[in-house]
């Protein structure tokens, strides 16, 4: 259960890769050598690592259309582990190298194979693999934080802090913990009182100060709508409960209960944080891959736990809701040198008509740049981005009373400069993407009642609960064109 | 630049490439510098941590032997013990470095005193739980000590097996966050102790109990498991203790460990669970139901390492812990997590692998191959259907899984809807490729095609449709040629059934034939020729149309007038494959026409010649002979004598390296010629007396350097011989060209050396390698050779690297021949004085002392310095030696024998050479004393 080496490699477009950080674990290497015997393959020097890694990930020679070592169709890149093909006699390979890519950063580690090297053991039979994956995920959070791309100087300072982080979480190649996510500084922490109660290893001290428990429920809704009888619309919802508990005590007990309205469809695929102390079997039974069973357990869902100091994801779930919050139709017709556009968006009556924001983005691909745009909207404003061939329909905070909004008009593509391209959206294959956020609403109806949060501690804490619905990958496809299949569930 | 910056640079350079870094200095001197800097009080902790990191990561590079390892560990230990209490981070780093050095240089395995002392110190540290007096700040030291002990126990299993009671008490007492470290240390010790006991026959209750109550020294001898002990899931048979042992105490220990497991971080929890699973598997008295209370919590976990540990439990205990219902449930959860929107891609890919290798209670096959658990039905797997919105790894992984699912169903006889959905997915991908998808999309789509075809190539209707689609796409995107050829090749290799590939190639041929002439532009033509060349390899495809097309294109375009060599060569490459085609006689005349046309009309002499040659072969030889001549003979065994075609249009690529084959074996090697001890005769016997006029010999000497290139070269002599094991194919090699690559920038480029031939049974030829140093440091050269074998093929092969040691660069003082001893001495003294007075400013003086045995000093001087002696006053026990190092460095030695030691005074005009001089002297004097003691 160890890793042999760890790398952070950066590769900016058009440049060769660069090792930004690396760490080798020689005692693990010693074991690797002894385990593999004559089939031992040493870890190459850092100077050759980027080239090998980028070749395997298909990131070298971007200007060449076909390079056999990179593009061979029989080399299957469908595993979290890749193999590095080393130069030199024997063409030996280094396996299994786990990699995580975020933007221009590649994190990689090489788990120890505690098995005879031939035949190559299955990945799940190696204990080090999941530990390596967990370590890399933690490292990713530590280096990149919640944002997509950290600023260069921020990244540099986080990289500089890595040696001392590794000293704690992986001193001798054996992962003990994951690095703390970037920017997570717990508030007032006092050292453990040192009584008989053992301090959890995932909690550096105890909270001192005002007791506050915040529970935030976020649901995301995804949808693919086709407005066609041949293609069924699909949508699904997934939710997560984020908690931050500032409560005194070494192992304070907190219970959060999620409830569904009467007739609500059960929460499925529930995954919980390791700090949850016990689970009722019925909570886990509903599973999205199963036939829907309306008689299944539908709450209340109790999660007793002892919180860590930092913000954490208590649990997540998926849910199947009967209707999408916004039902749309999109019709696009090609006429000579312009397109006729017709969009209708209907807000479902069960959804609260009070948005923080709501926008529909209508991109046009594989066309010349837009000329004149003659489009009317029944509600909200229209913004035209000619250089991006994009219409942005800002619906604002509310749909009109009728709960229906329309957009109609024509778009001319008179320019001679080619606009953005997309291999998927050719001909009349086109989509609208919706972006919206509704505070204080969940589609599944799931909620955390403030009074249902129980905290067993001396001081009565302030309890804050919130919920929200946010769109994610919410597409409405043009019904006059072909649209790609987006989920296996609909082919059944 | 501050010292810290300088070190920062050096250490970055070292970590990037230790081998390149050490080419400019010696390991000994670098290690000495590191340790020296570490001992300085002034240097700050940050810098010291950086310095330690080198030893932490590369202990075996810096400590090549156990003795150096032990010395280094002692040095570090002394630094450690003198460190102020507040330097926590540095102390922890040094502890890790010492542990790494001790383990990796086998100090631990060979049970040296240092290892023993270090182990004692670590154990004392973890017992010293009174660190409250210094506040919590000292906790990391104890945590690190636990980690070090755990690593030592891992590398020497059983080391702690007699200390389990002490460890248990420490674990019980600890209530701070450190209890995790103690808990893991104890559990590992416990597991190893039990594992060792399973090797023993007839274990009594007493022996079994004594494990838990052990409170003695370290068990140095118990290292029976070695480093290679595998986890139990890798063993054919799990080692077990006998039945009937009293497990009450162990059981309660296990329960308490499990109860507290919740207090560990998820990763450490998973490690703990795995150790405990192994213990339960080895002790029949313990029931797997111990874990029952943890199962629900684990089933619901979002943590990948805990889920993985649960699967390990499932694999180990099968139905003694998991009911059929549990199994079904667990699998469903895996499918759910494999597509969970909130998990990361690598984790989801891993869960999909876990589905493919799901540990079933009743597996049908037990091979490590990917095989679907019977419970995975099309219904269950439907949510893992690949879509065009997936990232490429996820899409390919899902496709592979779904292909397996539907293959099972297809085997049952019906072509189900699922397959046609997968087929639709493939078509959707191809549609994106057709709409100018990016390179990544193209590559991913061809990989998807490969997966699909390897599973469903038997379904004719679908595979025909695919061929139609691919040909249709090719007609618009001829740049897909290499992808299509690759696909045809790989499918052919993979399926042992060429049918699909042949059909595809036939389709592509047809597609090219039907293209309107306008589409046969120069650019597209090169793709088409590639395809036709591949098509011509298929005996089952008739080639008449190919020939007509080529002839047609050549006649009706201006290609012949343009005379582009590359195009001509590509056309000839098709012809070459056509010559080998089994049904050549059917198109004999057409091919002859084509070749003749090229040989007359193509405006490039080389192409004309080749075409004429092919024409001659075609018209004069039978097909059998023809193919015999053309056969490349790569399929093992001796190649056909002199296949002329090897130099002919064969490879795409550029003209210059037509068919240079590459071998990864070492075929040749360079062996240093042992110099017969320096022939110093030239000067010693008949020296010219300094003729009347008193010359300033120094001026004469220095004047020589006005001549460009004077004294700038070292010539090293090597024998070029065969490497030990090679194919008889290489017994006779010809026209060898040796090419040298430098590994550093201390030397100027070495020119290639040409050798006519090397025969295994003849005396090896001697080659002289001329080195021109910029800096006379030891170096090593990468050598490669291009040569031909008897069958006329050319080869490229690497030779073992040649290392050039420091003394190999020594030259005698370069004075004109027959210069007298006086002249030499005069020059010597001049340089010595200049160096002593610091001129030039890189000059330095140094002293080296050693203790020779009786007569060994004279022997030493004779063996090592003979050619470089300036004066030899054996009677006075004093010698002067001068090494000249190109381009213009001098190392001067004055050796005198005092009463009990020999003193070597060193002067040089380049202080950077001192570390090398030092290690050189060290080296030769070590040998000298060892020879003496041996004798």
Q: A263-266: which pairs have CB atoms within 8 A and are 24 or more residues apart? A: A264/A298, A264/A299, A264/A444, A264/A445, A264/A446, A265/A292, A265/A294, A265/A298, A265/A319, A265/A320, A265/A321, A265/A322, A265/A444, A266/A293, A266/A296, A266/A297, A266/A298, A266/A299, A266/A319
Instruction: Give the model's confidence band at A133: pLDDT under 50 very low, under 70 low, under 90 confident, else very high.
Output: very high
Question: Would you call A432 exposed, middle or buried from its count of C-beta atoms within 10 A (0-12, 13-18, 19+)?
Answer: buried
Residue of B266, B350, B483 lying closest to A123 (CB–CB): B350
Any CB–CB contact under 8 A between B354 and chain A?
A: yes
CA of B227, closest CA in chain A: separation in Å? 6
Please tell me the predicted confidence (pLDDT) of residue B410: 66
Span B579-615, pLDDT tens digits:
989 888 888 999 999 999 999 999 999 999 999 999 9
Beta carbons of B108 and B220 less than 8 angstroms apart:
no
Question: A380: phi > 0 → left, psi -120 to 50 → alpha, else beta; which?
Answer: left
The yes-or-no verdict on residue A418 having pLDDT over 70 is yes
Beta carbons of B498 and B488 less than 8 angstroms apart:
no
Which sequence spans correspond to the domains of chain B? 1-155, 158-288, 668-672+698-808, 810-929
Largest CA distance in chain B: 112
Please tell me the predicted confidence (pLDDT) of residue B224: 57
The yes-or-no verdict on residue A194 having pLDDT over 80 is no
CB-CB neighbors (< 8 A) of B664 in chain A: 88-91
Q: Indicate the range of A399-408, B222-231, B821-830 predicted with least confidence.
A: B222-231
CB-CB neighbors (< 8 A) of B424 in chain A: 485
- Is the CB of A114 less than 8 angstroms away from the CB of B231? yes
The yes-or-no verdict on residue A196 having pLDDT over 90 is no
Handedness of CA B429, B431, B435, B436 (dihedral sign): positive
Residue of A268, A272, A287 lying closest to B301 (CB–CB): A272
The yes-or-no verdict on residue A477 having pLDDT over 90 is yes
Instruction: Give the model's confidence band at B235: pLDDT under 50 very low, under 70 low, under 90 confident, else very high.
Output: confident
Chain B residue with Cα closest to A307: B263
Please tell me the predicted confidence (pLDDT) of residue B281: 94
Please tell me the predicted confidence (pLDDT) of residue B649: 43
* Chain B residues 660-719 with CB within 8 Å of chain A: 664-666
Residue of B147, B342, B396 lying closest to A316 (CB–CB): B342
Region A76-95 average pLDDT: 86
CB-CB neighbors (< 8 A) of A119 in chain B: 368
- Is the CB of B60 less than 8 angstroms away from the CB of A26? yes
Instruction: Give the model's confidence band at A441: pLDDT under 50 very low, under 70 low, under 90 confident, else very high.
Output: very high
Instruction: Give the model's confidence band at B223: pLDDT under 50 very low, under 70 low, under 90 confident, else very high.
Output: low
Chain B residue with Cα closest to A120: B368
Span B839-851, pLDDT tens digits:
777 788 888 888 8
Which sequence spans correspond to the domains of chain A? 2-173, 212-323+443-475, 326-440
Please tell me the predicted confidence (pLDDT) of residue B97: 96
Beta-carbon contacts of residue A262 (< 8 Å; ≥ 6 apart): none
What Cα–Cα distance (Å) separates residue A44 from each residue in A29, A69, B19?
12, 19, 11
The yes-or-no verdict on residue B242 having pLDDT over 70 is yes
The yes-or-no verdict on residue A490 having pLDDT over 70 is no
Which class is B1-155 in CATH? mainly alpha
Instruction: Give the model's confidence band at B870: pLDDT under 50 very low, under 70 low, under 90 confident, else very high.
Output: confident
Span A308-357, pLDDT tens digits:
998 999 999 999 888 899 999 999 999 887 899 999 999 999 899 999 99
Any CB–CB contact under 8 A between B857 and chain A?
A: no
* Chain B residues 566-625 with CB within 8 Å of chain A: none
CA distance A244 to A249: 15
Question: Would you call A463 exposed, middle or buried from its count of C-beta atoms within 10 A (0-12, 13-18, 19+)?
Answer: buried
Ranked by mean pLDDT, the top range of A283-287, A324-328, A334-338, B747-751 is: A324-328
- Is the CB of B228 less than 8 angstroms away from the CB of A202? no
- Is the CB of B228 less than 8 angstroms away from the CB of A35? yes
Span B93-119, pLDDT tens digits:
999 999 999 999 988 888 889 999 999
Please tell me the predicted confidence (pLDDT) of residue B131: 59
CB-CB neighbors (< 8 A) of A286 in chain B: none
CB-CB neighbors (< 8 A) of B418 in chain A: 491
What Cα–Cα distance (Å) separates residue B924 from each residue in B804, B835, B846, B850, B930?
16, 25, 17, 11, 10
Instruction: Give the model's confidence band at B413: pLDDT under 50 very low, under 70 low, under 90 confident, else very high.
Output: low
The yes-or-no verdict on residue B508 having pLDDT over 70 is yes
The yes-or-no verdict on residue B167 having pLDDT over 90 is yes
Please tell me the predicted confidence (pLDDT) of residue B569: 92
The yes-or-no verdict on residue A253 having pLDDT over 70 is yes
Instruction: Tell which CATH classification among 3.30.310, 2.60.120, 3.30.70, 3.40.50 matches the domain B810-929.
Output: 3.30.310
Across chain A, mean pLDDT equals 89
Of B301, B180, B304, B168, whose CA–CA distance to A200 is shortest? B180
Span B624-672, pLDDT tens digits:
777 777 765 333 333 333 334 444 444 433 333 456 777 777 888 898 8
Span B370-387, pLDDT tens digits:
678 888 888 888 889 999
Chain A residue with Cα closest to B449: A73
Please tell me the predicted confidence (pLDDT) of residue B634: 36
Kind of pairing, strands A212-225 and A462-477?
Answer: parallel
Residue of A26, A89, A199 lying closest to B100 (CB–CB): A26
CB-CB neighbors (< 8 A) of A274 in chain B: 266, 269, 301-303, 306
Does domain A2-173 fall under CATH 2.40.128? My reply is: no
Please tell me the predicted confidence (pLDDT) of residue B838: 76
CA of A378, closest CA in chain B: separation in Å? 32
- Is the CB of B265 less than 8 angstroms away from the CB of A46? no
Token reading at A412: 């001319």
Please tell me the predicted confidence (pLDDT) of residue B930: 40
Query: B195, B350, B419, B534: which to substitute to probe chain A, counting the most A Cβ within 10 Å?
Result: B350
Structure pTM?
0.82
Residue of B17, B103, B350 lying closest to A47 (CB–CB): B17
Instruction: Give the model's confidence band at A64: pLDDT under 50 very low, under 70 low, under 90 confident, else very high.
Output: confident
Chain A residue with Cα closest to B261: A200
Please tell me the predicted confidence (pLDDT) of residue B369: 65
Query: A253, A274, A470: which to substitute to probe chain B, counting the most B Cβ within 10 Å?
Result: A274
Of B444, B345, B386, B660, whose CA–CA distance to A70 is shortest? B444
- Is the CB of A491 less than 8 angstroms away from the CB of B385? yes
DSSP B213-264: T--SS--GGG--S-TTPPPGGG-SS---PPTT---HHHHHHHHHHHHHGGGS
CATH code for A326-440? 2.60.40.1170
Q: How many CB pairs under 8 A join A and B?
A: 382
CA distance B417 to B419: 5
CB-CB neighbors (< 8 A) of B662 in chain A: none
Q: Three-class SS of residue B620?
A: helix
| Assigned fold of B668-672+698-808 | Immunoglobulin-like (2.60.40)
Q: Three-class SS of residue B715?
A: strand
- Is the CB of B664 less than 8 angstroms away from the CB of A194? no
The CA dihedral of B74, B75, B80, B82, to the nearest 10 degrees, is 120
CA of B369, closest CA in chain A: separation in Å? 8
Span B893-919, pLDDT tens digits:
888 887 778 888 888 888 888 888 888
Token reading at B548: 């007509």
Residue of A88, A178, A199 lying closest to B177 (CB–CB): A199
CB-CB neighbors (< 8 A) of A131 in chain B: 267, 270-271, 305
CA of B907, closest CA in chain A: separation in Å? 37
CA of A263, closest CA in chain B: separation in Å? 23
CA distance B643 to A443: 76
Residue of B49, B233, B347 lying closest to A125 (CB–CB): B233
As its CATH architecture, domain A212-323+443-475 has Sandwich (2.60)
- Is the CB of B304 less than 8 angstroms away from the CB of A133? yes
CB-CB neighbors (< 8 A) of A109 in chain B: none
């Amino acid at each position: 259960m160890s890793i042999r080496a760890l790398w952070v490699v950066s590769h900016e477009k058009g440049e060769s890769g660069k090792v930004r950080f690396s760490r080798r674990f020689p005692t693990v290497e010693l074991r690797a050598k002894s385990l593999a015997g004559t089939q031992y393959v040493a870890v190459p020097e850092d100077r050759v690592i980027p080239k090998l890694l980028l070749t395997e990930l298909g990131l070298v020679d971007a200007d060449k259309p076909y390079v056999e070592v990179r593009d061979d169709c029989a080399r299957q890149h469908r595993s979290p582990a890749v193999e590095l093909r080393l130069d030199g006699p024997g063409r030996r390979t280094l396996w299994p190298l786990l990699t995580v890519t975020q933007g221009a950063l590649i994190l990689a580690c090489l788990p120890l194979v505690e098995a005879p090297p031939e035949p190559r053991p299955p990945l799940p039979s190696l204990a080090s693999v999941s530990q390596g994956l967990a370590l890399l995920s933690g490292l990713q959070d530590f280096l990149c934080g919640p944002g997509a791309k950290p600023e260069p100087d921020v990244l540099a300072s986080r990289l500089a802090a890595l040696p001392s982080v590794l000293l704690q979480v992986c001193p001798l190649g054996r992962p003990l913990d994951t690095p703390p996510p970037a920017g997570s500084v717990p508030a007032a922490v006092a050292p453990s009182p040192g009584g008989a109660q053992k301090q959890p290893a995932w909690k550096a001290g105890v909270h001192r100060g005002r007791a506050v428990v915040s529970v935030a429920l976020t649901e995301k809704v995804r949808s693919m709508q086709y407005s066609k009888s041949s293609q069924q619309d699909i949508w699904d919802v997934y939710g997560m409960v984020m908690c931050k508990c500032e409560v005194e005590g070494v192992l304070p007990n907190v219970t959060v209960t999620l409830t569904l309205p009467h007739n609500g469809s059960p929460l499925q695929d529930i995954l919980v944080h390791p700090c949850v102390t016990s689970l009722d079997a019925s909570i886990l039974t509903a599973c999205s891959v199963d036939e829907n069973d309306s008689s299944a357990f539908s709450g209340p869902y109790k999660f007793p736990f002892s919180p860590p100091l930092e913000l954490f994801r208590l649990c997540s779930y998926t849910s199947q809701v009967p209707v999408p919050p916004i039902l749309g139709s999109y019709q696009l017709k090609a006429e000579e040198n312009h397109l006729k556009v017709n969009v209708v968006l209907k807000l479902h009556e069960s959804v609260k008509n009070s948005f923080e924001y709501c926008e529909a983005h209508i991109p046009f691909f594989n066309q010349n740049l837009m000329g004149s745009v003659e489009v009317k909207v029944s509600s909200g404003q229209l913004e035209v981005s000619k250089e991006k061939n994009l219409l942005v329909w800002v619906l604002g905070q509310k749909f009109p009373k009728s709960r229906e909004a329309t957009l109609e008009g024509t778009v001319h593509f008179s320019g001679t400069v080619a606009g953005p391209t997309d291999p998927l959206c050719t001909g009349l294959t086109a989509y609208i993407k919706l972006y919206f956020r509704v505070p204080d609403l969940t589609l599944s109806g799931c909620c955390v009642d403030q009074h249902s949060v129980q905290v067993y501690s001396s001081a009565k804490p302030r309890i804050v609960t919130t919920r929200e619905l946010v769109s994610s990958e919410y597409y409405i496809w043009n019904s006059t064109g072909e649209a790609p299949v987006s989920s296996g569930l609909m082919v059944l | 630049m501050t010292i810290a910056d300088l070190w920062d640079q050096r250490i970055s350079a070292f970590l990037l490439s230790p081998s390149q870094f050490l080419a400019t200095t010696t390991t000994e001197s670098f290690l000495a510098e590191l340790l020296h800097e570490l001992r300085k009080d002034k240097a700050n902790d940050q810098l010291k941590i950086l310095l330690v990191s080198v030893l932490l990561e590369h202990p075996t590079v810096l400590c090549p032997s156990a003795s150096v390892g032990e010395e280094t560990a002692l040095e570090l230990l002394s630094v450690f013990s003198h460190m102020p209490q507040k330097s926590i981070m540095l102390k922890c780093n040094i502890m890790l470095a010492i542990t790494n050095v001790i383990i990796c240089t086998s100090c631990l395995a060979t049970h040296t005193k240092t290892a023993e002392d270090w182990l004692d110190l670590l154990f004392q540290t973890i017992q010293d739980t009174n660190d409250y007096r210094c506040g919590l700040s000292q906790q990391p030291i104890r945590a690190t000590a636990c980690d070090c002990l755990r690593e030592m126990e891992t590398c020497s299993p059983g080391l702690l097996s007699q200390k389990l009671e002490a460890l248990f008490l420490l674990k019980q007492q600890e209530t701070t966050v450190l209890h995790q470290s103690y808990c893991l240390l104890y559990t590992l010790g416990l597991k190893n102790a039990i594992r060792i006991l399973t090797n023993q026959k007839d274990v009594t209750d007493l022996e079994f109990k004594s494990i838990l109550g052990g409170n003695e020294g370290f068990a140095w001898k118990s290292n029976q498991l070695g480093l290679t002990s595998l986890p139990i899931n890798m063993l054919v048979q799990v080692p077990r203790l006998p039945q009937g042992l009293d497990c009450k105490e162990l059981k309660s220990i296990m329960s308490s460990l499990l109860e507290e497991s919740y207090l560990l971080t998820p990763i450490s929890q998973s490690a703990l669970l795995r150790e405990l699973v192994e213990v339960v598997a080895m002790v029949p008295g313990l029931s797997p139901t111990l874990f029952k209370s943890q199962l629900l919590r684990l089933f619901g976990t979002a943590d990948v390492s805990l889920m993985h540990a649960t699967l390990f439990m499932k694999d180990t205990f099968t139905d003694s812990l998991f009911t059929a219902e549990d199994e079904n449930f667990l699998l469903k959860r895996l499918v759910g997590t494999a597509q969970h929107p909130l998990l990361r891609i690598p984790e989801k890919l891993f869960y999909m692998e876990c589905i493919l290798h799901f540990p079933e209670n009743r597996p049908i096959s037990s091979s490590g191959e990917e095989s679907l658990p019977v419970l995975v039905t099309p219904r269950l797997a439907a949510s893992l259907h690949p879509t065009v919105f997936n990232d490429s790894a996820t899409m390919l992984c899902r496709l592979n899984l779904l292909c397996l699912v539907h293959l099972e169903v297809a085997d049952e006889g019906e072509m189900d809807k699922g397959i046609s959905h997968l087929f639709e997915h493939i078509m959707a991908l191809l549609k994106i490729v057709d709409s100018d998808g990016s390179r990544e999309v193209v590559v991913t789509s061809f990989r998807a095609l490969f997966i699909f075809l390897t599973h469903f190539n038997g379904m004719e209707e679908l595979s025909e449709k695919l061929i139609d689609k691919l040909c249709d796409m090719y007609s618009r995107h001829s740049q897909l040629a290499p992808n299509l050829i690759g696909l045809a090749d790989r499918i052919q290799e993979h399926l042992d059934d060429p049918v699909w590939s042949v059909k595809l190639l036939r389709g592509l041929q047809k597609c090219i034939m039907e293209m309107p002439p306008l589409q046969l532009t120069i650019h597209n033509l090169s793709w088409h020729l590639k395809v036709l060349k591949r098509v011509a390899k298929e005996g089952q495809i008739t080639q008449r149309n190919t020939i007509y097309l080529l002839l047609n294109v050549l006649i009706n375009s201006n290609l012949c007038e343009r005379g582009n060599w590359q195009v001509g060569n590509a056309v000839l490459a098709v012809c070459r494959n056509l010559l080998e085609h089994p049904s050549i006689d059917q198109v004999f005349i057409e091919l002859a026409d084509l070749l003749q046309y090229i040989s007359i009309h193509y405006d490039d002499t080389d192409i004309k010649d080749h075409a004429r040659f092919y024409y001659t072969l075609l018209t004069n030889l039978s097909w059998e002979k023809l193919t015999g001549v053309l056969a490349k003979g790569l399929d093992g065994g001796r190649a056909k004598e002199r296949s002329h075609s090897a130099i002919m249009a064969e490879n795409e690529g550029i003209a210059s390296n037509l068919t240079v084959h590459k071998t990864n074996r070492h075929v040749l090697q360079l062996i240093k010629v042992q110099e017969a001890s320096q022939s110093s005769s030239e000067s010693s016997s008949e020296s010219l007396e300094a003729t009347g006029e008193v010359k300033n010999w120094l001026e004469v000497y220095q004047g020589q350097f006005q001549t460009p290139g004077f004294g700038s070269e070292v010539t090293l002599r090597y024998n070029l011989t065969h490497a030990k094991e090679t194919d008889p194919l290489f017994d006779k090699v010809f026209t060898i060209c040796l090419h040298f690559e430098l590994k550093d920038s201390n030397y100027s480029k070495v020119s290639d050396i040409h050798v006519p031939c090397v025969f295994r049974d003849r005396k090896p030829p001697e080659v002289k390698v001329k080195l021109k140093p910029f800096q006379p440091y030891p170096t090593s050269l990468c050598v490669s050779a291009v040569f031909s074998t008897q069958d006329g093929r050319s080869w490229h092969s690497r030779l073992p690297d040649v290392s050039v040691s420091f003394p190999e660069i020594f030259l005698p003082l370069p004075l004109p021949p027959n210069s007298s001893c006086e002249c030499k001495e005069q020059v010597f003294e001049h340089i010595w004085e200049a160096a002593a007075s610091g001129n030039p400013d890189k000059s330095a003086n140094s002293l080296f002392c050693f203790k020779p045995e009786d007569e060994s000093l004279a022997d030493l001087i004779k063996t090592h310095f003979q050619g470089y002696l300036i004066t030899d006053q054996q009677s006075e026990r004093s010698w002067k030696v001068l090494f000249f190092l190109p381009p213009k460095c001098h190392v001067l030695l004055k050796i005198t024998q005092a009463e009990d030691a020999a003193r070597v005074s060193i002067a040089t005009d380049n202080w950077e050479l001192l570390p090398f001089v030092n290690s050189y002297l060290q080296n030769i004097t070590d040998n000298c004393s060892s020879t003496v003691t041996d004798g």
